Amino acid sequence: MKRDMPCRPLQVIAQTEPIARFAHESFHLLDRDLSQDAVSSRTEWKTHRGEHSGSTLVCASCSHPITSEEARTHVDGANRHTFANPAGHVFTIDCFAVAPGCLIFGTETAEFSWFSGYRWSYAVCAMCASHLGWQFRGEKRSFFGLIAGALVEKGSPEK
Ligand SMILES: [Zn+2]
């Protein structure tokens, strides 16, 4: 199977550009067995959710809890970044310190990384395997860059 490189920093697009369209077209995740490469972190999610009571962000496709507003973090001075991949698809991503609802998928690589000094892997929804973004790991920290629009706010979860 050939896999497109998603992370080549061809150009940085202004944040007013439209959100990434057809993000899934660049990826061919579903024709592989996720269970072999994926690392489940559902236990971490329960812990995380217990510690925070803020807005839960869920998968836009299946409503699986992914992360929360409290987990937003700044990388290179900003929470939101916009990049284009070699196919010309524009991705607007938000950075999160943790995303326990994601599965990490694929072989980690530094090739074409959008963030200097960070290696990346795919991050997909643990429930429906939708491509949500990427995990970036550097020597001192790691974070998730999740595609704006791939997550939606759940609102107040318990009433
Ligand atoms: Zn999902």
**2 within domain boundaries:** no
Q: How far is the CA of 6 from the centre of ligand 1 (A)?
A: 20
The C-alpha atoms of residue 3 and residue 92 are separated, in whole angstroms, by 21
- Specify the CATH number for the domain of residue 84: 2.170.150.20
Q: pTM of whole model > 0.75?
A: no
Domain of residue 147 covers 10-153
Distance from the CA of 30 to the center of ligand 1, in angstroms? 13
Please report whether residue 66 resides in a domain.
Answer: yes
pLDDT band at 129 (very low <50, low <70, confident <90, very high): very high
Instruction: Tally the domains of the chain.
Output: 1
Residue 45 resides in a domain:
yes
Asked, for residue 3, whether it belongs to a domain, the answer is no
- State the distance from the centre of ligand 1 to the C-alpha of 39, rounded, in angstroms: 16
Question: What's the CA-to-centroid distance between 58 and ligand 1, angstroms?
Answer: 8
Structure tokens belonging to residue 142: 């790691």
- Report the percentage of the chain scoring pLDDT > 90: 55
Q: 47-94 pLDDT, tens per residue? A: 444 444 569 999 999 999 999 999 999 999 999 999 988 788 899 999
The two structure tokens encoding residue 77: 């001075």
Question: 35 in a domain, yes or no?
Answer: yes
| Residue 5 belongs to a domain | no
- Tokens read off for 141: 């920290």
pLDDT of res. 157 = 45
